[in-house]
């Protein structure tokens, strides 16, 4: 067992199955030494655990947990394409937060994903990042995340 698989096991994390695309795209694609994921929603067993805007129907604390779920779904897409152990480093995370009017805590929400990547990958998990507030996300999801890794 190599590094990242062993680390996931050590943390008690099992990657979920790859979420089925909602439209005409693939969950992840590789170009050279880069793997790009499509936006991943916080699906758990094929269903969203919550819908609505952060700062209204969804608390920032809940949304932070959902961003961690999104990143696990993104890692599952990478794993299905090239294998988790082929990851050299996490390059960038782009997080979208469906935000209630006046909500400005998007960075804290996306920290759920960033902190989990740090737990799994250590220094190789340090990444560039954007945390963007948006009016709506697909099917009412509170959070969506894209991931770019080097393999």
Mark 95-124 as b/e (b = at least 16 C-beta within 10 Å): bbbbbeeebebbebbbbbbbebbbebbeeb
What is the torsion angle, in degrees rounded to the nearest 10, for the CA atoms of residue 101, residue 107, residue 112 and residue 115? 180
Asked whether the predicted pLDDT for residue 1 surpasses 70, the reply is no
Could you report the per-residue pLDDT of 77-110, keeping only the tens digit for each? 999 999 999 999 999 999 999 999 999 999 999 9
Q: Which pLDDT value is given to residue 2?
A: 65
The residues facing 133 across adjacent strands are: 97
Fold of 4-16+34-150: 60s Ribosomal Protein L30; Chain: A; (3.30.1330)
How is the chain split into domains, by residue range? 4-16+34-150
Average pLDDT, the chain: 97
Q: Is the pTM of this model over 0.85?
A: yes
């Amino acid at each position: 067992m190599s590094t990242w698989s062993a680390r996931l096991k050590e943390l008690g994390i099992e990657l979920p199955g790859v979420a089925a695309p909602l439209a005409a795209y693939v969950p992840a694609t590789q170009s050279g030494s880069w793997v790009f994921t499509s936006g991943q929603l916080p699906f758990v067993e094929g269903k969203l655990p919550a819908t609505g805007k952060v700062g209204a129907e969804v608390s920032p604390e809940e949304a932070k947990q959902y961003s961690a779920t999104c990143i696990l779904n993104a890692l599952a897409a990478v794993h299905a394409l090239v294998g988790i152990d082929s990851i050299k480093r996490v390059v960038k995370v782009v997080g979208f937060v469906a935000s209630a009017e006046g909500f400005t805590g998007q960075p804290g929400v996306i920290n759920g994903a960033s902190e989990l990547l740090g737990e799994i990958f250590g220094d190789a998990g340090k990444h560039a990042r954007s945390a963007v507030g948006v009016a709506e996300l697909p099917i009412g999801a509170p959070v969506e995340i894209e991931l770019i890794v080097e393999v």
